[in-house]
A = this chain, B = another copy of it.
Amino acid sequence: MIGTAAGSSAMYYAMTAMGHAAPSNYTGPIKLDGDPKGAKVLVLGAGLAGMTAALELRAAGYTVEVLEYREKAGGRCWTLRSGDEYTELGGAKQTVGFSDGNYINPGPWRLPHHHYAVMDYCRRLNVPIEPFIQTNYNAYVHRGDAFDGKPQRMGEILTDYRGHVSELLAKAVDQGKLDQEVTADDKELLLESLRRFGVLDDQNAYVKSLDTSGYRGYDKQPGGGVDAAPVASDLNDPQQVIQSQLWRYFSTHESLDHWAPMFQPVGGMDGIAKGFEREVGDLITYNAKVTSLKQDDSGVTVTWEDATGAGGGTNTSTADYCVCTIPFSVLGQIDHNLSPGLSGVISSMFYNGSTKVGLEFKRRFWEQDEQIYGGITYTDQAISQISYPSTGYQSDGPAVLLGAYTWRGTDTFKFNAMQPAERIKWALRMGEKIHPQYRDEFKAGVAVSWHKVPWVLGCSGVWEDREAQGYEEAIKIDNRVVCAGEHLSYIPAWQEGAILSSLDAISRLHDKVING
Contact surface of A with B, Cβ cutoff 8 Å: 6-8, 10-11, 13-14, 18-26, 113-114, 116, 119, 122-123, 128-131, 133, 135-138, 150-151, 153, 155, 158-159, 161-162, 165-166, 168-169, 171-173, 177-178, 181-183, 186, 189-190, 193-194, 196-197, 199, 213-230, 233, 239, 242-243, 245, 247-248, 250-251, 254-257, 259-261, 263, 363-365, 367-371, 373-375, 390, 393-394, 396, 436-437, 466, 475, 484, 486, 488-491, 496-505, 508
State in angstroms the CA–CA spacing of A227 and B25 once bound together: 9
Whether A228 pairs with B369 at a CB distance below 8 angstroms is no
Whether A136 pairs with B261 at a CB distance below 8 angstroms is yes
- Nearest 6 CB-CB pairs, A to B? A7-B368, A25-B223, A225-B504, A224-B501, A224-B500, A224-B489
Whether B228 pairs with A489 at a CB distance below 8 angstroms is yes
Copies of the protein in its oligomer: 2
Whether A215 pairs with B113 at a CB distance below 8 angstroms is no
A251: shortest Cβ distance to chain B, in Å? 5
Whether B159 pairs with A181 at a CB distance below 8 angstroms is no
A251-B219 contact, Cβ under 8 Å, with A25-B228, A178-B168: no
A225-B488 contact, Cβ under 8 Å, with A177-B172, A183-B239, A371-B113: yes
The interface residues of chain B lying within 8 Å CB-to-CB of A19 are 150
State in angstroms the CA–CA spacing of A159 and B225 once bound together: 42
State in angstroms the CA–CA spacing of A18 and B370 once bound together: 10
Closest chain B residue to A259 by CB distance?
A: B137
> Counting chain B CB atoms within 10 Å of each CB, which of A21, A213, A220, A437 scores highest?
A21
The interface residues of chain B lying within 8 Å CB-to-CB of A504 are 223-226, 228
Whether A255 pairs with B214 at a CB distance below 8 angstroms is yes
A398: shortest Cβ distance to chain B, in Å? 12
State in angstroms the CA–CA spacing of A123 and B23 once bound together: 43
The interface residues of chain B lying within 8 Å CB-to-CB of A153 are 20-21
Whether B189 pairs with A368 at a CB distance below 8 angstroms is no
Whether A261 pairs with B375 at a CB distance below 8 angstroms is yes
The interface residues of chain B lying within 8 Å CB-to-CB of A199 are 251
Whether A193 pairs with B224 at a CB distance below 8 angstroms is no
A427: shortest Cβ distance to chain B, in Å? 21
| 16 pairs, A vs B, C-beta closer than 8 Å | A7-B364, A10-B437, A11-B370, A20-B370, A22-B218, A113-B138, A131-B131, A155-B259, A165-B194, A172-B177, A177-B177, A189-B245, A214-B255, A215-B254, A224-B488, A225-B504
